[in-house]
Amino acid sequence: MSNGIGTVQRVPIVVKGVEFSGDWQARHDLRLTATYGRTRGRTASAADQPLNLDLGARSQGPDKLLLGSQWAVAPAMSAQLSVSRYLPRDANAGKTSGTTSLEEHFSGYTLVDAALRWASPWGELGAGVENLLDRQYITYYSQANYSGTNDDYYAGRGRTLTLSWRRSF
């Protein structure tokens, strides 16, 4: 279309990443786990141009480190604790598209979750707490959003308690 409405501009995108994970059976009743993931993507500002822009928050997440532990408290009871660290990220510093800044800044945050499960005679009972420390944080997309408005700006969930019961028959 000559007016640009509905026109799709196709530009190359290259994404590279790594993920490392491992676990360690520290004792017969305790397992520790760790995972680290990182991606880096680049794209072009226009067709037939070099890859001169970092992929933004809409296309890739921040680097993250996940640490966990699973503990067999008793023969029918287990507990889990996990820590999720989303690492800071800055993209496209000083770059613009017309008058719009393409800069994205993310300061990172850390969340802690816990869960407890009990295999009872009535089924499996569970309790979990997300964001155990009730950390107030702004989500990755909100922090990295470069639109210059508050339309997509929102906080992450506060402490959340979940109770569950599961019975197989």
In a domain, 73, yes or no: yes
pLDDT mean over 140-164: 82
Residue 48: helix, strand or coil by DSSP?
coil
Cα Rg of the chain (Å, integer): 22
In the block, which residue shows the tokens 């979940």?
162
Q: In angstroms, what CA-CA distances link 38 with 60, 70, 77, 87, 113?
A: 10, 24, 34, 10, 22
- Asked if 118 contacts 124 with a C-beta cutoff of 8 angstroms, the reply is yes
In a domain, 3, yes or no: no
Quote the domain boundaries for residue 28: 13-166
- Asked if 88 contacts 68 with a C-beta cutoff of 8 angstroms, the reply is no
In a domain, 27, yes or no: yes
Checking if the pLDDT of 47 tops 90, the result is no
pLDDT mean over 31-36: 98
In a domain, 96, yes or no: yes
Residue 166: what pLDDT? 96
Task: Give residue 102's pLDDT band: very low, low, confident or very high (50, 70, 90).
Answer: confident
Task: Give residue 45's pLDDT band: very low, low, confident or very high (50, 70, 90).
Answer: confident
In a domain, 30, yes or no: yes
In a domain, 115, yes or no: yes
CA distance 99 to 45: 14
pTM of the model: 0.83
E strand spans, 75-108:
77-86, 89-91, 96-97, 100-101, 104-106
Q: Assign residue 94 a region: left if phi > 0, alpha if psi is -120 to 50, beta otherwise?
A: left
- Asked if 158 contacts 134 with a C-beta cutoff of 8 angstroms, the reply is yes
In a domain, 2, yes or no: no
In a domain, 49, yes or no: yes
Task: Give residue 58's pLDDT band: very low, low, confident or very high (50, 70, 90).
Answer: confident
Containing 141, the helix (H) or strand (E) segment is: helix 140-144
Q: What is the mean pLDDT of the chain?
A: 90
Total structural domains within the chain: 1
